[in-house]
Structure 1
């Protein structure tokens, strides 16, 4: 009777090592290329890469923000020196509520310089030298103006490519994957519009879409093509070809903090990848200061790219005067060593643990530049917002805050002592803002809870199905005039014209001859 037990023990003894080997047997080699020198861009990417490493995959990440603490199966190639080049390109505090086209005109040469420097760096050259024969199963790339890196994709065996964007989708992201993008209903991520656009806003949105599309095809892609040839020669396929062969596009924004839109199955919206569910302890003095705020706290941070210390002097003074009139305490991320004229209710620091501060129950309002990651953190913790937008997608995000009724928009040009104080008082004293934010937060948290697992499932799906070519849209095979049905319209119009001409000829041939008039007959008789 004990023999089956012994047999089961032997079977389990043999099975345990096999089970332990399963993750290794299924492990893949991933290469990730995230060139933007901005920690807000990098945090969602890092969350996905660390989760893949935790599942047993081997991840090599080329980025400007290497991990501060090592992670198993995760290797960094450090391009952090690019921050210096990026910061020289602009003072973002001077680009408040900027024009989308002006921003792209500015960023196109700036990012071209960054890519050129990165590809020439010893870090990338050493990778090419010592990893030339190393093959990867899949490559991730930040799907912005970095197509020159497609040459690197060619050197590692041309595996399937996944694009990732730490924003919502840009028009050229949707075009690259073949996803429909209608400027009549989809505001561009670089615009100031919400989804409820009037005629003039739709006209502006259409102009931005058309301008960005032609700039993408006629300026950005040729520049990136030239850079790729400079470093990788003639062997790689054209950048446009690689772009259109992308297997999957992962967008780090979601309809809860953007707007509903039609999406193909290989366009995946995620949200809050970087947002921590657990709260970390605050420094003891900061915790006591927040706890002691009987009237509540206004948290003020313009993010990692826009520096409060660089604000125009008149705006800075207006902000100080307005904050001094509040009964609430104000916690301000201010990057200088001192803040002249600092009110007694204001506390400043060069760096602050933002997520843990927003989780504090006394925080009543968040003054933000409108960066997506800050927006997502505020929604997760249900803190109403006052948006002062500057660059990139910030005007777009702030428009969403206002449209959703969870915040207000205050352009820097309109900021005065009175306008800032009035906006803060509305947000602090009107309970409707917090009620709407709680409703949005509930929906947001539900989708955020599944986002990371969704990302991992889709990555491994592409891996299992060798690039998942069955997800590719037929629209990618059509010329632009075919996609817009112009050939069909011309054919139908031509058929109508021919039909009308044929009917007229038929009518003339069937119509009886007109009898001569009496006058004509009399003239003939005479």
Structure 2
């Protein structure tokens, strides 16, 4: 059995917590809440669904517009299905983006996200919603805070209630900019840079470039495109996207310093973690349970998530992986998207879909080969399974850098993956008790904070509802021009004052010198008279 990673909470505390979660906070009322979650990716949607279901359980009327409706209906919860959006995202092969810089990946995704937003806002589903529901008004709106500023048109169509931004990842530089939170690239690694917080000079230079480039891309490309798209669908009535972008009441990030790095946060920025991670495990299919139970040497679990497809790996890399796995005495369970895997070794079992959380909870699972997606990272840490990260896109290099920096996993870029390198990395993780102990301790810290994340999110959301927004939490930095925020006007004033002081001092010294130096004029005139 895997050793416990955190002490259980006292029964009285658990009971009290359950009672608190079941009813609205004191002073709260049942509210009408609208949630706009456009990204067609189940890994994005799972944390959002947890928060929305809990709000519905507390008596709020929740309407969710997303590509992933709930499979089972929930009281007080209405889905508006945009699942057709997956057809657009499927045109992008994520595996082909490995090795591409984070900022270049963002440029690739820009037109894709624009197409998704345009198609969704044009769809009969959203048009019907606006015709039939907008006039009723809402008390609060959630918006996935990525490249979806055109959705501000919906926010204003339903009465411009308080706005809560939510992200299934950690924050980008532009995410923190939107709420006025400080973000220093000298020690705060940008998600798209793939750095840890222990940066060399060149990494700090790269990190600064990534932050500045992303900010410029947002201001000079994303905003204008989204402004045009909003005007196309909502006309001239809504305020500009620039105005609404900086008018959030609350920002919720589904990442935490436990899996990221400590940073200064404003009171209206919440770092939460593992919102979708279940404490209870569910029964596995009988044949899979027996297969895992019978793995005397342990199991290596292999999944590249819901967006990166193992079937799209380059053939030479796929063959190197198969040869390496065949040399392991452990069993390997691989999420593979095709019905067949040619050359599959006897110790490897494949399936198109697997119940990942319940597999990671199995005591025989000893290593998780992952693409480094945040939700997979959170699940592995919760269950204390060491990681081998092969990052591809987005925040994956950043998450894998954290795994390596924390000593709970290893990083193996696809470009460096060979039969021997993969086998060596797996053997180190399988046979090194120190890495398992580091993961056990790491998991204990993580679990303690994860246990309070959902309760914290609910309290702050209802805080915004009780106070009809939270302008008192807004940072003064949002009222400043960029040159004021960077203190360039102060620096200019100080420089001018210093220059004026130097000029005044030089002038005074010159006058003093003239006054004090001996005059040669009388002696000169005396010599002239004598000569005459």
TM-score per shorter chain, which class?
Answer: over 0.9
SS, match of residue 34 in structure 2: strand
Confirm or deny that 1:119 pairs with 2:121: yes
CA distance in 1, matches of 2:371, 2:119: 29
What residue is the counterpart of 1:291 in the other structure? 293
CA distance in 1, matches of 2:508, 2:173: 50
Cα distance in 2 for partners of 1:521, 1:281 equals 116
Of 247, 263, 266, 1:264 maps to 266
User: Is the Cα contact below 8 Å between 1:379 and 1:437 reproduced in 2?
Assistant: yes
- Kindly report which structure 2 residues correspond to 1:85-484, keeping only aligned pairs within 5 A, or say none: 85-88=88-91, 90-484=92-486
3-state SS of 1:427 partner: helix
Aligned to 1:51: 54
RMSD across aligned positions (CA):
1.7
Deviation at 1:506, TM superposition (A): 1.4
Structure 1 portions without partners, runs of 5+: 1-19
Once residues 153 and 402 of structure 2 are traced to their aligned partners in structure 1, the CA distance between those partners, rounded to angstroms, is: 38
- The equivalent residue for 1:40 is 43
SS at structure 2 position matched to 1:133: helix
CA distance in 2, matches of 1:520, 1:84: 100
Query: Cα–Cα, structure 1 residues 76 and 24, in superposed 2: closer, same or farther, change >3 Å?
Result: farther
Partner of 1:17: none
Aligned length: 506
Alignment correspondent of 1:76: 79
How big is the shift at 1:443? Answer: 0.6
- 8 Å Cα contact 1:191-1:205 kept in structure 2: yes
3-state SS in 2 of match to 1:116: helix
Q: Structure 2 CA distance, aligned partners of 1:249 and 1:22?
A: 20
Aligned-residue offset at 1:98 = 2.6
Normalised to the residue count of structure 2, the TM-score between the two structures is 0.93
1:277-322 C-alpha deviation (Å, 9 max, x unpaired): 0000001111111011111000000000000011000000000000
Decide whether the 8 Å contact of 1:24 with 1:56 is kept in 2. Answer: no
Displacement of 1:131: 1.4
Alpha-carbon distance change, 22 to 418 in structure 1, aligned in 2, over 3 angstroms: closer
Displacement after TM superposition at 1:248 (Å): 0.5
Give the equivalent residue in structure 1 for 2:509: 507
Partner secondary structure for residue 196 of structure 1? coil
Aligned-residue offset at 1:101: 1.3
Q: Is the 8 A contact 2:24 2:59 kept in 1?
A: no
Partners in 2 of 1:365 and 1:168 — Cα distance? 24
Moved over 6 A (4+): 20-25, 517-523
Q: Secondary structure at the match of 2:333?
A: strand
| C-alpha distance in structure 2 between counterparts of 1:477 and 1:21, whole Å | 34
Deviations 1:58-94 (A, max 9, x none): 0000001000000000000000000011111x11111
Kindly provide the CA deviation profile for residues 110-133 of structure 1, in whole angstroms up to 9, marking residues without a partner as x: 100100000000000111111131
Any conservation in 2 of the 1:32–1:140 contact (CA below 8 Å)?
yes
- Decide whether the 8 Å contact of 1:23 with 1:56 is kept in 2: no
The CA distance in 2 between the partners of 1:107 and 1:523, in whole Å, is: 90
In structure 1, how many angstroms separate the alpha carbons of the residues matched to 2:382 and 2:338? Answer: 29
* Counterpart secondary structure, 1:81: helix
In structure 2, how many angstroms separate the alpha carbons of the residues matched to 1:118 and 1:323? 43
CA shift at 1:23, angstroms? Answer: 9.9
CA 1:401–1:501 in structure 2 vs 1: closer, same or farther (change >3 Å)? same
- 2:90 is paired with a residue whose SS is helix
Superimposed CA distance per residue, residues 143-188 of structure 1 (whole angstroms, 9 cap, x where no aligned partner): 0000000000111111000000000011111000000000010111
- The secondary structure found in structure 2 opposite 1:213 is helix
Report if the CA contact (8 A) 1:23-1:55 is conserved: no
Distance 1:521 1:389, change over 3 A: farther
- Equivalent position of 1:8 in the other structure: none
**Structure 2 unpaired stretches of 5+:** 1-22
Q: CA deviation at 1:473?
A: 0.2
Query: Is the 2:28–2:465 contact (alpha carbons within 8 Å) kept by the matching residues of 1?
Result: no
Say whether residues 1:65 and 2:68 are aligned partners: yes
C-alpha displacement at 1:520, in angstroms? 6.8
Q: Is the 8 A contact 2:28 2:462 kept in 1?
A: no
Deviations 1:43-66 (A, max 9, x none): 000000000000000000000100
Output the TM-score relative to the length of structure 1: 0.94
How many angstroms does 1:95 deviate by?
A: 1.1
* Helix, strand or coil at the partner of 1:136: coil
The DSSP-based 3-state class of the residue aligned with 1:141 is strand
Partners of 2:500 and 2:28 in 1: CA distance = 66
Displacement of 1:517: 9.9
